[in-house]
Amino acid sequence: MITIALVVAGVWALIRLLPVILVLLAALIIVGTVNPAVQRLETRGVRRGAAVAIVFTTLFVLTLFTVTLTIPALIAQAADLLEQEPVLRARGADFLAGSSLTAPFAETLRNIHYDALAKSLADRALAWSTRILEVFAYSMSAVFLALYLMLDRDRLRGWLFAVVPRSHHIRLSRVMMNLETIVGGYMRGQMITSALMAAFIFVLLTMFRVPNALAIAVFGGVVDVLPYIGAFLTVVPVVLSALPLGPIVTMSVLALMLAYEEFESRVLVPKVYGRALRLPSAVVLFALLAGGTLKGIVGALLSLPVAATILMLIEELRVVLPGEPEEIWSAALRERDQLSEEEYKRRADGLPAEQAAAIAVEISRTHHRKKSGSHAAPKASRQTGKRD
C-alpha cells in the first residue's frame, strides 16, 4: 500500500511539475548544443566563463539579426496585402468564375463579410497572446538555466558524481557523453532541414520574382523546426507573398511548397535525423507521431532525442532485448568497461568527486576517440548472431 501511494504521489508530482521538467529538458538541449563551441574555445586558451559569454552573445546577436531581418519585412508585406485585398479578391473571383467547376465559389468569394471573421480572429489573438507570453517566459527560463548550468558545470558534475557509486562513474560519464552526442546530432538535423527549407523557399520565390524573398526564406527556415504547425507557418507566408503576381503563380507556388513539405516529412526528415541520431527511419516517424499525440508540438520536438536516449540507455545498461544473443556482443563491451574502470581507479584514487568526475569524462572521451567504431561492432555482431 505504501509503495502504491508513493508511486501515485510521484506520478502526480511529475504531472504537476511537467512545465518545470520541460524547461529543464530544454535547458539541457541548449547546453548540449552550445557545449561543443565552448569546448572548442577552451582548447584555444579562452577561459570557460569568457567562452560561455562569447557563445551566448553570438547566439543573441544572430537571433536579433534574424528577427530584424524577417519581422519588419513580413509586417510590411502583410500591410501591403491588406491594402490590395479588394483587388486580389476580385481577381481571384474572376479566375474562379472562368471554370464551371469553380464558378459557385466565385460569388461566395465576392460576398465575403469580414465582421464576424475579424471578431473571431480578435478573440483568438487574445487567447494566443497569453499563450505566447507564457511560452516566451518558459523559453527565457530555459536559456538562463542553461547559462547557469554551463557556468557551474564542474560543480554540478561533481555533485552528480558524488551521489553515484564510483564503480559506476565511467558508465555515467559515457552516458553523459552519449547524451551530448545525441543532442548535437538532433540539432545538426534541425539545422540541415531548416537550411534546406530556407534555400528552397528563396530559390522558389526568386524564380517567380516575389519581393522580400530572403526575409520570407529565413522566416520559413526558422519556423520549420516546429512540428505540425511548421508546415502551415512556412506555406502560408510564401503563398500570400505570391498573391499579387496572379493566380497562376500563386497556384504554382502552392503546389511546389506542398510537394516539398511532403518530401521533407516523408523522405528528408527520416533520413537526416536517422543518420544524425543513428535511428532507423521507421523509428523516427513513429517517435514523431507518438510524441505529437502524447504532448502536441512540445512532445514532437522532444520525441527524437528521447527515442535516441532510450536506445542508448538500453545499450549502455546492458538491457538485453528479446531475441538478442547476449553472449555474442557483450564480451567486447565488458572488456571495454573493465579497461576504463581500471584506468579510472588508478588515476582518481583519493581525489574529490569534482576532480574524479573530470577524469572519468576525459577517459570516456579518449576511449571513444580511439574506438570510434565501438557502436558499429556490437550492432554488426547482433546482426550476425541473428543470421546465424
Residue 1 lies in a domain: no
- Per-residue pLDDT band at 379 (split at 50, 70, 90): very low
Q: Is the dihedral of CA 161, 162, 167, 168 positive or negative?
A: negative
The answer to whether position 354 is within a domain reads yes
| CA atoms of 243 and 87, how far apart (whole Å) | 11
8 A C-beta contact, residue 31 and residue 149: yes
pLDDT at 387: 38
State the residue for C-alpha cell 464576424: 116
Task: Give the integer Cα–Cα distance in Å for 170 and 363.
Answer: 8
Q: How far apart are CA 382 and CA 329, in angstroms?
A: 7
State the Cα angle at 264 between 258 and 269, rounded to 5°.
155
How high is the pLDDT of residue 377?
Answer: 42
Q: Would you say residue 318 lies in a domain?
A: yes
Percent residues over pLDDT 90 in the chain: 8
Q: How far is CA 352 from CA 85, 161, 280, 371, in A?
A: 70, 10, 41, 28
- Phi-psi region at 26: left, alpha or beta (left = phi > 0; alpha = psi -120 to 50): alpha
Average pLDDT over residues 41-46: 89
pLDDT score of 384: 38
pLDDT at position 383 = 40
Residue 57 pLDDT class (50, 70, 90 cuts): very high
Q: Hey, which of 92-106, 140-154, 333-347 has the most confident mean pLDDT?
A: 140-154
- Total number of domains constituting the chain: 1
Give residue 212's pLDDT band: very low, low, confident or very high (50, 70, 90).
confident
Q: Higher confidence at residue 154 or residue 261?
A: 261
Write 58-67 long-range contacts (CB < 8 A, 24+): 59/34, 66/218, 66/222
Q: Is 228 left (phi over 0), alpha (psi -120 to 50) or beta?
A: left
pLDDT at 376: 44
Of 107 and 33, the structure prediction assigns the larger pLDDT to 33
Q: Which three cell numbers stand for residue 278?
A: 543513428
Higher-confidence residue: 161 or 379? 161
Is 361 a residue whose pLDDT tops 90? no
Does residue 109 have a pLDDT over 80? no
Q: Give the pLDDT mean for 341-348.
A: 78
Of the two residues 194 and 187, the one the predictor is more confident about is 194
Query: Sign of the C-alpha dihedral, residues 68, 74, 80, 83?
Result: negative
Average pLDDT, integer, range 137-147: 88
Q: For 279, which DSSP code? A: -
| Residue 345: alpha-carbon gap to chain centroid | 38
Q: Which helix (H) or strand (E) holds 9?
A: helix 2-16
Q: What are phi and psi of 275, to 5 degrees?
A: -75, -40
Distances (CA, A) of 314 to 103, 157, 320: 60, 23, 8
pLDDT of residue 270: 80
- Residue 34's contacts (CB-CB under 8 Å, 6 or more residues apart) are 52, 55, 56, 59, 146, 150
Mean pLDDT, residues 101-129:
67
61 pLDDT band (50/70/90 cuts)?
A: very high
Instruction: Return the pLDDT at 371.
Output: 58
Say how far apart CA 329 and CA 376 lie, in whole Å.
11
pLDDT of 201 = 92
Q: Tell me if 56 is assigned to some domain.
A: yes
Range of the domain at 325: 21-113+127-382
Of the candidates 313, 324, 318, 366, the residue with the CA atom closest to the CA atom of residue 343: 366
In a domain? residue 49: yes
Give the C-alpha separation, 334 to 96, whole Å.
Answer: 71
What does the alpha-carbon distance between residue 228 and residue 265 come to, in Å, rounded to a whole number?
10
Q: In whole numbers, what is the pLDDT of the chain averaged over residues? A: 77
Residue 360's pLDDT band, with cuts at 50, 70 and 90, is confident
Q: With CA atoms as reference, report the closest residue to 194 among 221, 218, 168.
A: 221
Position 13 in a domain: no
Predicted confidence at residue 382, as pLDDT, reads: 41
- Count of other CB atoms within 10 angstroms of residue 104: 10
pLDDT value of position 207? 92
Task: Identify the pLDDT of residue 386.
Answer: 40
Is 338 exposed, middle or buried, given 0-12, 13-18 or 19+ CB atoms closer than 10 A? exposed
What cell numbers appear for 358 in the block?
573530470
Residue with cell 583519493: 350
| % the chain with pLDDT above 70 | 78
Q: pTM for this structure?
A: 0.70
Say if residue 113's pLDDT is above 70. no
- Per-residue pLDDT band for 80 (boundaries 50, 70, 90) equals confident
